Amino acid sequence: MKHGNSLPLDRCPHCNVAKPHLKLHYGFENDNDRQTSKRRWGNYQCSICGGVTLAVASAVGHDRSGLAYGDIEQLWPSSQTVHESIPERARLFLEQAIASIHAPAGAVMLTGSSVDAMLKEKGLKEGNLFGRIKLAAEKQLITEEMAAWAHEIRLDANDQRHSDEAAALPNEADAQKAIDFATALAQFLFVLPARVARGRGKPT
């Protein structure tokens, strides 16, 4: 992927809309103080949410128009991804939650389903979601702080599932907090153990 009039990402890193139109807002070239690291920077603005994504590519030589730049090396912010070491069912729920954050109530329910699937993968199948999170802490699968964190966010979404008229619908900030928790939980339960196993040369 190279710099151009638009940035062809699958999803906007800010609003997660699919196939966004990220138009080049402005770009510039610079170098370091030793003149050894010529780079081209571009700011691309989403036509939906207005969020700006910064992209950078390094010079790789010259062409007829001057310096030639290679593929884009980094993006800020980067798109949120779900690690492949997370079990499939939990991973798919979390991917769908991230993709639907613009519909917060649905995103929270999907995140709760992802957490539910993670806990079941670890053999925690009895009781409600928060009870099983507490049990995970007692078994030292997660920290006590993580268990407390779960009670501070809209995660179980029972008020939505049972159509509780008194419960306010979650907003996008609520959905992002739930996704952040699920991502951290996945790190503890699956991602970090997989990295340790790979580092020690053991199969995951």
The pLDDT score that the predictor gives to residue 151 is: 87
User: Beta-strand (E) ranges in the chain?
Assistant: 22-30, 39-46, 52-63, 66-69, 74-76
The domains of the chain are located at 1-79, 88-199
Q: Alpha-carbon distance 117 to 111, whole Å? A: 10
Measured in whole angstroms, how far is the alpha carbon of residue 134 from the centre of its chain?
A: 25
Segments of the chain scoring below 70 in pLDDT: 65, 156-167, 203-204
Strands 66-69, 52-63: pairing is antiparallel
The pLDDT score that the predictor gives to residue 200 is: 84
The pLDDT score that the predictor gives to residue 164 is: 55
